[in-house]
Amino acid sequence: MSTEVMAMAGDVFLAAGKPGGVQLPEIETSTRRDRLWDVIVWDDPINLMSYVVYVLQKVFGFSEQLATRHMMEVHQEGRSVLTSCELEKAEMFVSRLHRHGLQATIEKQAG
C-alpha cells in the first residue's frame, strides 16, 4: 500500500468517528447487524458476585475491572450484554457460561 493510500485510509477512519464524518453505506451496516448476536447474562439470587467475576474472566478473558462492571450491571439492572458477535461464537460463549451455572441467552442484536 502506498503512503498516499494509507493516508487516505487514515482520513476515512478518523472522519468516520466524528459527527458529520464519513457514513458507511446503509446496506453494509444492515448486513453487519444481521450477523451480530448479543450474549446476555441474567441475574440469579444464588451465584456469588465473586464467582460471576471469576467466570466472566475465565470465559471471555475480561480484565477484573470489566468483569466487575458487568457483574454489577447484572446485579443492579437484572442483565448485562457481555458481547455482540457472530452466532457460532455467541453459542460457544453461552454454552461455556451454562457449564459454569450462569443463566445466559442469545438475542439477535436490535436495530
Partner 1 sequence: MNPVVRQEDGSLLLSLPHAEGLVLCSMPQRIEALLSSEGFNHRVVERLFPIAYEDSSREAEYRKLLGDDLRRSKRESMETFKRTLEDLEISQEGIQILIAEEAVGQWLAFLNDLRLYLGIELDITENDWSASIDPDEPLEEEFALLHLLTWLQQCILDAIGYDQDRFASELQEDDPDDGGES
Minimum distance, C-beta of residue 111 to partner 1, in the bound complex (Å): 18
Residues 6+ apart with CB under 8 A from 67: 52, 53, 56, 57, 60
Does 105 contact partner 1 by CB under 8 A?
yes
Q: Which is nearer to partner 1, 68 or 109 (CB)?
A: 68
One-letter amino acid identity for 97? L
Distance CA(12)–CA(8), nearest Å, equals 6
Applying CB under 8 A, which of residues 6, 15, 48, 81 lies at the interface with partner 1?
48
Q: Identify the CA nearest to 50 among candidates 33, 30, 72.
A: 72
Q: Which is nearer to partner 1, 3 or 65 (CB)?
A: 65
Does 89 contact partner 1 by CB under 8 A?
no
- Element at 84 (helix H, strand E): strand 79-85
Does 49 contact partner 1 by CB under 8 A?
yes
Judged by the rule CB under 8 A, the positions of this chain that interact with partner 1 are 43-54, 58, 68, 71-72, 74-76, 91, 94-95, 98-101, 103-107
